[in-house]
Amino acid sequence: MERFYWYVIESMCDFKSLSDSIKNAGFDDSKEQGFTVNSISKNCISGKYVKSKIVTQKFVNPFGDDSFEQRKIYEIINFEISKENAILLQMRNPDRCVSSFLTELNKVTNYSLFIDRPKFILPDLLIDLRNKGLVIIQVKEMELSEIALSREAVGTLTVKGKLSIDDYEKKLLIADLKHKLKKFKAIVDFNGIRETIEVHSSNKIIMSGKLAKLINPIFKHNLQILD
């Protein structure tokens, strides 16, 4: 399973300048961080962000003669930046350097970017996916937040089991209360590919690479029309 994260970029420079800035900030072993470009076109650039750091490991000797070993490790983020109505950033399986990546991306463009993490409205997104042919076979887990239990109280709830989409939409009593769907995990079928998908309202999607090739264009379209 792979993890995908989406961001929306507002840029004060044109897309070519953005692409050139990334291309010119290439990574090599003499640098602490930088970019490698896999492909580049008029409206899309894909590649990797690479950050290197030195870690020190201590080897304890019971007789007091401890030794230390240093080695260089690399953290990597696979990314794609594309432009239609809006400029979108997609990260795939990022290491723990997302903040450094976003900071460096802004830095190499002379701080001309505003990078925002969008919020998926999951019920609307699920309707769109189903209209485009996604079949929800079994709901495995849902997280509901901001449940209006009363005028004075709100709550959160995690529902697990072997549910159908009708169980959520029609049968669960909680569905009648005002709430937000925060996470949705289900077994689905899309164009003959049967897989598990996990979608978070934050901007995170977990699915196989095979399913992602079919699903990601739909996510991209949903984010494009927000502009």
User: Are 92 and 162 within one domain?
Assistant: no
Residues spanned by the domain of 193: 122-224
User: Are 110 and 170 within one domain?
Assistant: no
Residues 6 or more apart whose Cβ sits within 8 Å of residue 11: 18, 87, 109, 112, 113, 114
User: Are 51 and 153 within one domain?
Assistant: no
- pLDDT confidence tier of residue 185, bands split at 50, 70 and 90: very high
What is the reported pLDDT for 64? 75
Q: Which of 50, 84, 116 is the last residue of a domain?
A: 116
* C-beta separation of 2 from 91 below 8 A: no
- pLDDT confidence tier of residue 21, bands split at 50, 70 and 90: very high
What is the reported pLDDT for 99? 95
Kindly state the tokens that stand for 102.
Answer: 């976003």
Residue 198, judged by CB atoms within 10 A of its CB (0-12, 13-18, 19+), counts as: middle
What is the reported pLDDT for 226? 55
pLDDT tens string 116-152: 998 888 888 888 999 999 999 999 999 988 888 888 8
Looking at per-residue confidence, does 212 or 227 come out higher? 212
User: Are 137 and 214 within one domain?
Assistant: yes
- As for how many domains the chain has, the answer is 2
- pLDDT confidence tier of residue 175, bands split at 50, 70 and 90: low
pLDDT tens string 191-205: 999 999 999 998 899
Backbone angles phi, psi at 203, to 5 degrees: 160, 20
pLDDT tens string 50-100: 999 888 888 888 877 888 888 889 999 999 999 988 899 999 999 999 999
pLDDT at 112 over 80: yes
User: Are 36 and 81 within one domain?
Assistant: yes
Q: Which sign does the torsion angle of CA 39, 7, 128, 162 carry?
A: positive
Backbone angles phi, psi at 70, to 5 degrees: -105, 140
User: Are 6 and 112 within one domain?
Assistant: yes
User: Are 142 and 71 within one domain?
Assistant: no
What is the reported pLDDT for 147? 85
User: Are 200 and 137 within one domain?
Assistant: yes
DSSP 27-85: --TTSSEEEEEEEE-SSEEEEEEEEEEEEEEEE--TTS--EEEEEEEEEEEEEEEEESS
User: Are 13 and 104 within one domain?
Assistant: yes
What is the reported pLDDT for 104? 96
What single-letter DSSP state applies at residue 108? H
133: left (phi over 0), alpha (psi -120 to 50) or beta: left
Enter the pTM of the model: 0.87
Q: Which of 116, 137, 160 is the last residue of a domain?
A: 116
Could you tell me the CA-to-CA distances from 6 to 9, 26, 66, 79, 196 in Å, in that order?
10, 23, 46, 10, 19
Mean pLDDT of 25-42: 93
pLDDT tens string 37-54: 999 999 999 999 999 988
What is the reported pLDDT for 225? 61
Closest by CA to 45, choosing from 34, 55, 35, is 35
- Give the span between the Cα atoms of 180 and 148, in whole angstroms: 10
Q: Which of 53, 86, 116 is the last residue of a domain?
A: 116
pLDDT at 227 over 60: no
- pLDDT confidence tier of residue 171, bands split at 50, 70 and 90: low
- Give the span between the Cα atoms of 162 and 185, in whole angstroms: 11
Kindly state the tokens that stand for 43.
Answer: 């409206």
Residue located via tokens 């201590």: 58
